[in-house]
Chain A
Amino acid sequence: DGGITQSPKYLFRKEGQNVTLSCEQNLNHDAMYWYRQDPGQGLRLIYYSQIVNDFQKGDIAEGYSVSREKKESFPLTVTSAQKNPTAFYLCASSRQGAYEQYFGPGTRLTVT
């Protein structure tokens, strides 16, 4: 089955710790994205990557970092600099220039 996997589904961390969220796709898509969703809100773009070894900041990149060393993988690190990290994190991928993005199941991060 082709698709996007995110792990883990739920993640709990103490304040001040960095945490890395995994995102893997086997759709052979060039572009990958990270979004954040807060309760009752739409999605906001954190980072996106259109090609391996290249990525751009989205609207709310502060406190986050990414890497794109392989086409299939786009991990997101939530650093201790992110002031309000508790949220639902969604990873997506798409073909270049396509309007259809395929989303993973999400990771719900809780920081206390």
Chain B
Amino acid sequence: LAKTTQPISMDSYEGQEVNITCSHNNIATNDYITWYQQFPSQGPRFIIQGYKTKVTNEVASLFIPADRKSSTLSLPRVSLSDTAVYYCLVGDLYNQGGKLIFGQGTELSVKP
């Protein structure tokens, strides 16, 4: 299973765009990249998932370069309610029995 590395913490201000980068140098061909958000004392919530290039939904964008050794979660115009821990996960869920490997995540703090 691919190991991921992401910053422990980040600070931002309301209205700014936030980019959180995740390194996954040993990503395998069948692996997908998935991001989750977790608020204190709650279960994580799925944000976005991608395999290559760019994926966008109503919440975020995910940028994946051609070599797929890293990925960047982009949150446009953050608000105070985006303060949370963001996890980057890499894996082939279909063939690994649904096992998700959560690292320590990035604690994002949005200030007014």
Query: What does DSSP make chain B's interface, helix, strand, loop or mixed?
Result: loop
Docked Cα-Cα span, A58 to B102, in Å, equals: 13
Interface flags, A40-54, vs B, CB<8A=1, else 0 = 111111001010000
How many of chain B's residues touch chain A, expressed as a range?
20 to 34
Residues of A bordering B, CB below 8 Å = 4, 31, 33, 35, 40-45, 48, 50, 56, 58, 88, 90, 92, 94, 96-106, 108
For A50, give its contact among B34, B41, B43, B98 (CB under 8 Å).
Answer: B98
B93 touches A99 (CB 8 A): yes
Docked Cα-Cα span, A106 to B41, in Å, equals: 7
B42 touches A101 (CB 8 A): no
Docked Cα-Cα span, A96 to B58, in Å, equals: 25
Chain B residues, Cβ within 8 Å of A43: 44, 100, 102
The 8 closest A-B pairs by CB, nearest first: A103-B43, A42-B102, A97-B94, A43-B102, A100-B46, A99-B49, A31-B98, A90-B43
Docked Cα-Cα span, A96 to B46, in Å, equals: 16
A42 touches B42 (CB 8 A): no
Whole-angstrom distance between the Cβ of B84 and the nearest chain A Cβ: 13
Whole-angstrom distance between the Cβ of A27 and the nearest chain B Cβ: 13
Chain B residues, Cβ within 8 Å of A42: 87, 102-105
